[in-house]
Structure 1
C-alpha cells in the first residue's frame, strides 16, 4: 500500500512539474535550431528530452553573475544539453545539488595544486565551466553558446559529465556503474578500455614536440586538456560522443562503444538508441 501511495505522489509531482515548467513550441524549436547535434535524436527521443528538460528546470535553480539577465531561452538551452547525457538513464544522476550559476563569459577560479617537488601552490586561472562536488555547476554563457558542432567542444555536457562522475565520490573518470542500466559493464571492464585509452592519449600528448603542439591541437579531436586527469578525459570524451560521434567512433572505436554503452545512446547512428550486448 505504501509503495503504491509513493508511486502515486511521484506521478502527481511529475505531472505538476511538466505542467508548471512546460516549454512552449516556439522556444523548444529555437532551442533545437541552436543545438544542431540534437538532430541525431529520433522524434520520440526528442519528446522525452523535452519532458526531461522540463523536469530538470523544476528541480534546479538558475542564477547569474555580473548582472547577466537570465532568460527562458538561456535556461532551456542549458537544461536540454544537461539532460542529453541522462536521456536513457535518469535525472537521479544529478541528485544532491540544485544550483546552476551562469556567468556572461569566462570567470576566475582559484585552485590548490602540488608541483613535482611536492610544494603546494594557490593559483588562479580562467575557466569556462566548473562543477563542484555537492555544489553547483558554474558555466560561461558565452561558451555555452558555442554549439555549432564545428568541433567537439561543449562546456555544458563537459561539466555535467563531471557531475555524473562525482556521484560515487571524487571525479576520477570512473563514473557509477548501475546494474539496472550498465550490465554487463563492471569496474574491470571499464578500466580495461577507459584506462588504456587514457594512457595512450597521454602518451601521444607527451610525445608532441613544442613546435608541433599547435598542429596537434588543431588536428586532434580530443583537446589535449583531457590529458590533465582521467576525470577530464571522461568529460572531454563525453563531449565528443554527443557532438561529433562519427569522428569520435572513427578515431576511438572501443572507447566510443564503452561510452555509448554507458550513456545507453548511439549518436553515430542517427535516430537510433544504443542496444547493449546480450
Structure 2
C-alpha cells in the first residue's frame, strides 16, 4: 500500500511541477531569505510539500486581485515551512486561502465580557478560521520578505496548527514525547514577561501584538522562531527549545551552518 501511495504521490508531483515555470521558482526562492539556510534535501521536501499544498488548497483572489504563480508559490512555501517535518496532514479539514489585495475589514458581531454586542470593524492583515479558510492581505504577504521577524503567512498558518484541537490557546496538539506541563509553564512565564515589559513601556524585540493573548503570543513567537531564531533564543531560550521540539526543526542551527546554496536543486531548475 505504501508503494502505491508513493507512486501516486510521485505522479501528482510530476504533474504539479510541470505546471509551474522554472523561473517562477527562482524568483520566489530568491525573494524569501528565510529559506536560504535550508539544506538541499530540506529545500526539495519543502518544494514538494508546497506543490501538494497547492493541489489540495484553493487560493481565491478577492476584490479583483490578479493571482500569479509566484504569488501562489510564495504563500505555499511560507505556509509549509512550519510543517516541513510535520507533514501536510496538519492542514487537513479546510480547503481555501482567500487573498485580498490589502488589509480587509471583516464585519462580525462581537460579544463583550459584559454581554454587550457590537459590530467589529477592524482592518486585518490576516485571519485563520477554525474549520474555514485562511484569509491574507497580499500587501502584507509581500511585506513579509525581509526576515525581520514579521511574517503574516507563518503567523496565520501557525494559528491553524493551534486550532487543530479546537481551541486557539497557544498550545497546539503536542507530540507524545513532549510535556504539556513544561510547554505551558515555559510559555506562560515568557508571555507574562513580555506583557510586563510592554505594560512598562519598555522596548521589546517582539511585536507587542503578542501580548493580546496566549494564542497570539504563540503565533508571533513562531514567526521569530523561523525568521530571527537568534533573537528568540537570546530572549526566551526555553520557548525556543519547546518550539524546536514541536516543529522538529532548528533554524538557529541551520543559520550557523555553512553550505552552498540549495536553490539549484529545486523543481524544474537546471543543474
In the alignment, does 2:226 pair up with 1:242? yes
* Corresponding residue SS for 2:253: coil
1:260 Cα deviation (Å)?
1.4
Counterpart in 2 of 1:172?
169
In the alignment, does 2:241 pair up with 1:257? yes
* Corresponding residue SS for 1:109: coil
Larger displacement relative to structure 2 (191-200 or 111-120): 111-120
Counterpart in 2 of 1:189?
182
1:42-57 equivalent positions in 2, closer than 5 A: 42-57=39-54
Structure 1 unaligned segments of length 5 or more: list them: 209-215, 274-278
1:8 Cα deviation (Å)?
4.1
- Separation in 1, partners of 2:247, 2:140: 24
Which of 1 and 2 has higher RCO (CA within 8 Å, sep 6+)? 2
* Corresponding residue SS for 2:50: helix
1:87 Cα deviation (Å)?
0.4
Counterpart in 1 of 2:143?
146
Counterpart in 1 of 2:15?
20
1:176 Cα deviation (Å)?
0.7
Offset from partner CA, 1:54-110 (integer Å, 9 cap, x none): 111111111100111111111001000001000011111100001011100100023
Counterpart in 2 of 1:213?
none
1:43 Cα deviation (Å)?
1.6
1:12 Cα deviation (Å)?
3.4
| CA pair 114-203 structure 1, distance change in 2 beyond 3 A | farther
* Corresponding residue SS for 2:30: helix
1:13 Cα deviation (Å)?
3.1
- Separation in 1, partners of 2:210, 2:182: 21
Counterpart selection for 1:11 from 3, 6, 19:
6
Q: Which runs of 4+ in 1 moved over 6 A?
A: none
- Separation in 2, partners of 1:20, 1:43: 22
Normalising by structure 2, we get a TM-score of: 0.88
- Separation in 2, partners of 1:238, 1:192: 17
* Corresponding residue SS for 1:66: coil
The alignment of Structure 1 onto Structure 2 pairs a total of residues equal to 255
Structure 2 unaligned segments of length 5 or more: list them: 258-271
1:1-278 equivalent positions in 2, closer than 5 A: 4=1, 7-22=2-17, 23-115=20-112, 117-149=114-146, 151-179=148-176, 183=177, 185-208=178-201, 216=202, 219-270=203-254
Larger displacement relative to structure 2 (14-23 or 221-230): 14-23
RMSD: 1.8
- Separation in 1, partners of 2:107, 2:194: 27
* Corresponding residue SS for 1:96: coil
1:229 Cα deviation (Å)?
0.9
